[in-house]
Amino acid sequence: MRRSTMSGAWFSVKQGAKMAKGFLPLLTIAAVAIAIVALAAEHEKSDAALAQVAINVADLERSEKYYRDVLGFERVWQYPPDSAQPMEIGLVAPGGGAGLVLSHLSDDPLPEGKGSYGRIIVDTANANALAARAEAAGSATRFVTIPGDNPPTIVFFRDPDGYEIELYQAPSLP
């Protein structure tokens, strides 16, 4: 019987063949994964990315505590910025990803089982182009004017089911 050394241990040729046979499925999976990544890189990326989801809550403090304690989300902004009683709180998970906006717009009771307010917020480098696409699809758009020399571009519209979409284009860099 022929033997060879491998990592300081003795293996027969037969044992080596069995080991190689066990690695073949792993090598095949790795090759397929590399091919999928290469194909995905060839496709064009969308000019829109999900930025935040806003939901209406009955109690901002309770909801912020829940999302902080359960999911580890952290407050990164509030509106109004200097208010002791904000209307909206922006949360994100450490490390990034889409944010969650908790909103409390009135003390009216929420409908049973759901919130009365919510929107999907999408970051984009070209809010005007996406607004034109929304109009072409039948949505009415509403541009929000923010005062200042270099304001963000903010556009609202509704999808066919009535959900509000907000396009947010950050102010241009100096």
The CATH number assigned to the domain holding 163 equals 3.10.180.10
From CA 165, how far away is CA 118, in angstroms rounded?
9
Same domain, 18 and 104: no
Tens of pLDDT, residue by residue over 113-165, are 555 567 878 888 899 999 998 999 999 999 998 888 999 999 998 887 677 88
Same domain, 14 and 98: no
pTM above 0.85, yes or no: no
- The residue behind tokens 């009216």 is 108
Nearest to 148 by CA among 131, 125, 172: 172
Tens of pLDDT, residue by residue over 40-73, are 566 677 888 888 888 888 889 988 988 888 778 8
Whether 31 maps to a domain, the answer reads yes
Beta strand segments in 13-60, E:
48-56
Name the more confident of 174 and 114. Answer: 174
Same domain, 82 and 130: yes
Same domain, 57 and 7: no
3-state secondary structure of 168: strand
From CA 116, how far away is CA 151, in angstroms rounded?
29
- How many structural domains are present in the chain? 2
Same domain, 34 and 69: no
Note down the domain range covering 29.
Answer: 3-42
Same domain, 106 and 153: yes
